[in-house]
Every structure is written in structure tokens, then in C-alpha cells.
């Protein structure tokens, strides 16, 4: 059938074939859309690595890009430890892990409860991991959990520790977790390829660090806050203008999300230097390497929440324009490609320098010089340690007060139950005694 139509069109022209021009137009449209989708889909990971017996710890692995990373690595035989805010007995998490085990044919998928919005929860898990003797095997840590406000100027939400939620979940939680797990990372055998993969975002390019914005209502920032904020803005102050005006501009126009990603990249570089400076007892070179990954613009739940502004009208507009977002935004599987490249590319298992920045499965240089600035990194590190110390002390005091109140309530309940039991017992005894008296008096009367 197609051959006679083609020969007929060649001999007598395309007009002789029914709907020929319409078919050609639609074929051109489909081809253009396919090419655009392929272009916006980004690079594909072509690296391969044996992942059997590898122990991988990951945050944000239950949705979006993290879920795609987990599925791919689990399919390759890796042992996955999901760090989630849900308890392992949560029905959603139980079903998710069961489905993941069946789809990947891998039973080595587990979950640990770690709430990134709670410094105490992070310390509780990480301390338990580090205290294990001998040190537990750990081949990779992937940190891709994050949160974002629906609108840029929306009211920030605070964590139970009194910090901005974006700051604590996106940056400080990762700092806290890696700081405590550092001994476990350094204790890995020298022949083991250990990688720490940190998620970034292009929003870091236009971000400014104003650490005063990280504080909530519980405590005030320390001196290191001002020092770090000054260090990150000193270059712009040279161009003229009052510091007060610039601080006001940064506070109103800077995205907290971008600030957390810039801070995380600065810390990632500093953490690599921290690991490399460690002298192993066996005199072997450090085998742990930090990699920073920018997955690109991806259709994750966080991205959708930001696009819609967290409103129903925004969601309606998003649904109407969904074909556009489908075309220009990556699918979660496509966004995971750079993470998989960082996890499996052989050349990142060698060398001590680490701190590579990867985007579209290629190495790039960060566009902010603060990322490699040792002075800024030192001040940010000190500020983070001071902030964690203050918040953990406050959290310990709150837990002590809550425990005392619970103990007091428990004692009150026990006393109330005891009084109730005593009154019930005395009432029963009274009724029993009263019921015997008439029989006794009646007996005496009968004897008379």
C-alpha cells in the first residue's frame, strides 16, 4: 500500500495523494517536538559500575529525582538505606519499599527515620551509626532532599528548632549529618571507593549569604553571623553605596533557597578538604570524595509547588499549561542522570582532590568564587557549628521540660486512679457492712 502511494505521488505530484500535505505538516510538528524534548531532556549517563554489595545512604529518596536514583541503583543490586521523616512502620513507607523491592528484584532496601527538620533526630541516628563497632560499611551518601517555599516573598516556616525551614532542611541538616558521620567515612578501608554526592541548583548563581535570615524567634545569631555576611558582601561594598541599603536589598530580593544551595556548595568543598587533611593510620591516601551535582530543571513535587505558588489557581494554570512544562522540564528519570554519572563514573574513584561540580554529566567550574574561598568556608563552618550547638541546647531544655511535664501528668493520673480505686473500695466495704446490719438486728428481734 505505501509503495504504490509513493510512486503515484512521484509521478503525478503530492496533490494526487489524499491528505498528503496534512500528514507532512503533522510529521514536521511531531519531529520538532521530539527534537525539543530530546534537547531539554539533557545528557544521558553512559557510565557503568558494579553496584552489588554497595551500601548507599540517601535522603529524599521517596519522591521526585531521589526516587528515580533509588530505583536505578537498587536495580543494579545496591543496598539502599532511605533516610525519611516517616517511621519505618508508616503504611505509605511500607508499601513504597515493598513495591520498590518487587520492581527492582532487590530485597536490600530499608528505611531509617531521620527528620531533617530536627537536629536531635539527625544526631540520634548518626551517633548510633558511628558508635557501631566495627564500623559499618558505607560506600555512598546521596543528599538530594530539599524544600522550597511556594512563593519567593512568602512567610518563612520555622522548624521546631526555631530556624528557617529551607535553611535547616537544605543546608544545616546536611552539615550536621556529614559532620557526625565523618569518623565513619574516614574509617572505611582504603580500597573502598567512598563518594558523597550533594545536590545543588542553578539558583546558587544569583544568591547572597545573609545568615541573619536563618534565625527564627528562639535565639540571636552570634558574632560569626556578621563576619560571614560581611565576607560574602565585601566585594560588592567596594563599588559604593551604603551597607544598610545593600542589606535591605539582599533581604528582600535574595532567595533563601538559592542561599542554602550556595552555602551547601561552599560546605561541600570545605568538607572535601576536611577529609583529605585526615592522616590515615595505614598511611594510605583518603578514599572519600565529594561531588556536587546540579540535575537541572526537573518536574519534581517541589518544582511544581514553586511554579503553582502553592495555590489552587496556580495549580489550575499549571494544568492548563502542562504541555509546556512537559516539554521544557526534565522528567525525574532524566534529572537523575547526572547523579548516576557522579555515582558510577570510574574517574571519580581516583584522586584526592574531589569537590567536582557536575552538570549534564560533565564537569563545570562553579560560577561563584565563594565556593572555593577558604575564608568564607571557615566562617560558614564556624557559624554552622555555633548555631547547631545553641539550638541543640535549647532543644535539650525543651525535651527536659516536656519530659518533666509528662512525668507530672503521669503521676497525677496515677494518683487520680489510686483515689478512684480507694473510693470505690471504701464504698464497696460500706455497702457490704450496711447490708449485714439489718440481718443482725432482725435476728436479735426474732430471738426475743
Query: Are residues 33 and 147 both part of a single domain?
Result: no
153 and 30 both lie in a single domain: no
Q: What is the pLDDT of residue 133?
A: 78
pLDDT reported for residue 4: 66
User: Can you give the pLDDT at residue 269?
Assistant: 94
Same domain, 289 and 367: yes
Contacts of 31 (CB under 8 A, 6+ apart): none
Please report the pLDDT score of residue 248 as a whole number.
42
* Whether residue 111 sits in one domain with residue 16: no
For residue 143, what is the DSSP state?
A: E
Whether 119 and 247 share a structural domain: yes
Same structural domain for residues 67 and 133? Answer: yes
pLDDT at residue 56, rounded to an integer: 96
How far is 386 from 373, CA to CA, in rounded Å? 20
pTM above threshold 0.85:
no
Give the per-residue pLDDT at 254: 46
Indicate the DSSP class of residue 205: G
Are 25 and 113 in a shared domain? no
Active site positions, annotated: 261
In the chain, the number of structural domains is 2
Q: What is the pLDDT of residue 416?
A: 86
Which three cell numbers mark 435? 447490708
- Any domain includes 287: yes
- What distance in Å separates the CA atoms of residue 13 and residue 10, rounded to the nearest whole number? 5
Question: With left for phi above 0 and alpha for psi between -120 and 50, is residue 21 left, alpha or beta?
Answer: alpha
Could you tell me the residue range of the domain that residue 102 belongs to? 55-295+330-395
DSSP states along 397-414:
HHHHHHHHHHHHHHHHHH
Residue whose C-alpha is closest to residue 382's, from 234, 243, 222: 222
In whole angstroms, give the CA distance from residue 318 to residue 90. Answer: 31
**Residues 114, 210 within the same domain:** yes
Residue 127 · residue 180 · CB < 8 Å: yes
Angle between helices 119-130 and 173-186 (to 10 degrees): 10
> Is 122 within a domain?
yes
Look at residue 67 and give its three-state secondary structure: helix
Helix (H, G, I), strand (E, B) or coil at 331: coil
Q: What is the pLDDT of residue 15?
A: 65
The number of residues making up the chain comes to: 448
Distance CA 177, CA 190 (A): 22
- The predicted pLDDT at position 65 comes to 94
Residue-by-residue pLDDT tens, the chain, 448 positions? 566 666 655 666 666 666 667 777 888 889 999 999 888 888 999 998 889 989 999 999 999 999 999 999 999 999 999 999 999 899 999 999 999 999 999 999 999 999 999 999 999 999 999 998 788 999 999 999 998 887 766 677 889 998 989 999 999 999 999 999 999 999 999 889 999 999 999 989 988 888 887 875 434 444 444 444 444 444 444 444 433 444 443 443 348 889 999 999 999 999 999 998 888 888 888 889 999 999 999 998 888 888 888 788 888 998 999 999 999 999 999 999 999 999 999 889 876 678 899 999 999 999 999 998 999 999 999 999 999 999 999 999 988 998 888 888 888 888 888 888 878 766 666 665 555 555 544 444 444 4
With H, G, I as helix, E, B as strand and everything else as coil, classify residue 111: strand
Euclidean distance between the first and final Cα of the chain, in Å?
127
Give CA–CA dist 410/16, Å, rounded.
Answer: 91
Co-location of 247 and 278 in the same domain: yes
Residues 95 and 193 reside in one and the same domain: yes
In a shared domain, residues 67 and 26: no
Amino acid at each position: 500500500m505505501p509503495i504504490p502511494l509513493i510512486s503515484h505521488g512521484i509521478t503525478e505530484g503530492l496533490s494526487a495523494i489524499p491528505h498528503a500535505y496534512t500528514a507532512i505538516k503533522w510529521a514536521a510538528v511531531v519531529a520538532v517536538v521530539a527534537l525539543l524534548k530530546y534537547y531539554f531532556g539533557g545528557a544521558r549517563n553512559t557510565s557503568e559500575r558494579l553496584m552489588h554489595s554497595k551500601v548507599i545512604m540517601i535522603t529524599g529518596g521517596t519522591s521526585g529525582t531521589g526516587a528515580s536514583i533509588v530505583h536505578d541503583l537498587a536495580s543494579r543490586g545496591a543496598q539502599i538505606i532511605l533516610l525519611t521523616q516517616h517511621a519505618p512502620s508508616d503504611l505509605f513507607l511500607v508499601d513504597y519499599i515493598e513495591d520498590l523491592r518487587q520492581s527492582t528484584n532487590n530485597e536490600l532496601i530499608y528505611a531509617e527515620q531521620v527528620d531533617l527538620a530536627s537536629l536531635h533526630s539527625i544526631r540520634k541516628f548518626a551517633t548510633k551509626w558511628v558508635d557501631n563497632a566495627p564500623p559499618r560499611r558505607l560506600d555512598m551518601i546521596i543528599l538530594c532532599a530539599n524544600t522550597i517555599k511556594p512563593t519567593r516573598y512568602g512567610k518563612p516556616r520555622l522548624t521546631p528548632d526555631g530556624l528557617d525551614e529551607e535553611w535547616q532542611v537544605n543546608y544545616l541538616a546536611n552539615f550536621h549529618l556529614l559532620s557526625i558521620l565523618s569518623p565513619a567515612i574516614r574509617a572505611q578501608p582504603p580500597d573502598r571507593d567512598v563518594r558523597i554526592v550533594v545536590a545543588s541548583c542553578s539558583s546558587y548563581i544569583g544568591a547572597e549569604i545573609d545568615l541573619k535570615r536563618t534565625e527564627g524567634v528562639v535565639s540571636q545569631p552570634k558574632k560569626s553571623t556578621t563576619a560571614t555576611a560581611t565576607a560574602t558582601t565585601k566585594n560588592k561594598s567596594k563599588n559604593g553605596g551604603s551597607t544598610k541599603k545593600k542589606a535591605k536589598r539582599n533581604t528582600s530580593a535574595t532567595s533563601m533557597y538559592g542561599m542554602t544551595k550556595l552555602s551547601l556548595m561552599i560546605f561541600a568543598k570545605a568538607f572535601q578538604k576536611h577529609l583529605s587533611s585526615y592522616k590515615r593510620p595505614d598511611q594510605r591516601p583518603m578514599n572519600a570524595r565529594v561531588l556536587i551535582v546540579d540535575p537541572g530543571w526537573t518536574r519534581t513535587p517541589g518544582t511544581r509547588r514553586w511554579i503553582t505558588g502553592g495555590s489552587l489557581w496556580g495549580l489550575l494554570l499549571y494544568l492548563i499549561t502542562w504541555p509546556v512544562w512537559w516539554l521544557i522540564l526534565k522528567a525525574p528519570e532524566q534529572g537523575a542522570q547526572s547523579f548516576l554519572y557522579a555515582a558510577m563514573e570510574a574517574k571519580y574513584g581516583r584522586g584526592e582532590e574531589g569537590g567536582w561540580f557536575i552538570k549534564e554529566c560533565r564537569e563545570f567550574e562553579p560560577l561563584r568564587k565563594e565556593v572555593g574561598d577558604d575564608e568564607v568556608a571557615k566562617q560558614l563552618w564556624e557559624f554552622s557549628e555555633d548555631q547547631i550547638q545553641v539550638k541543640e541546647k535549647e532543644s535539650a531544655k525543651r525535651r527536659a521540660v516536656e519530659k518533666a511535664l509528662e512525668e507530672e501528668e503521669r503521676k497525677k493520673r496515677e494518683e487520680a486512679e489510686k483515689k478512684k480505686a480507694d473510693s470505690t473500695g471504701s464504698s464497696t466495704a460500706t455497702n457490704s457492712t450496711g447490708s449485714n446490719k439489718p440481718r443482725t438486728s432482725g435476728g436479735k428481734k426474732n430471738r426475743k
